[in-house]
Amino acid sequence: MTKFSRMTISKSEDDIKKISEEIRQQEHQVVELGAEEAEEGTHMHAHGEADLSVITHELTHMQELLLHVIQAIRELRDSVDNLGITIRKSLRALALLQVANSLSDAESRHRLLEQVSKDLGVDVKKHDK
C-alpha cells in the first residue's frame, strides 16, 4: 500500500479485497450500533454528521489524487504522441536513405540526403571530390 497524506491507496487485488472487507465490517458494526442506540432511545444524529464529515474529507483526498492521475495520463499521452511523431520521422528518414543509397546519380543522391538532413534537423554540407 502507498500512503498519501492521510489516505492509503491500495496497490494489489489483495489490498482491495482487504479494504472492501474492512468497509463491510464497519458498515455491519454501524448498523448494529444504530440498532442498539435506537433501542436505548439515543440519537445518532451527531455521530452520523461526524461520519459524513470524515467521508467528505476522504472523498476530497480521493478527488485530488484522481486529478493528479488525470494529469499524469495527459502527460503520458502527450509523450506517446511525441514518440509516435519521432518514430514516423525516423522511418521516413531511413526509407529516404535507403533510396539515396540505391541512386547512381550523385546530384540526386545529394538532394535526397539534404531532404533527410532537413527532416532530422541536421546540417549536412556538400563535399566536393
* Residue bearing the bigger pLDDT, 108 or 20: 108
* Residue bearing the bigger pLDDT, 53 or 85: 85
For 62-79, the pLDDT digits (tens) are 999 999 999 999 999 999
Helix (H) or strand (E) holding 17: helix 13-40
| Number of other residues whose CB lies within 10 A of the CB of residue 116 | 20
pTM, whole model, 2 decimals?
Answer: 0.46
For 79-124, the pLDDT digits (tens) are 999 999 999 988 988 888 888 888 888 888 888 888 888 887 777 6
CA distance 116 to 108: 12
Of 75, 63, 81, the closest CA to residue 7 belongs to 63
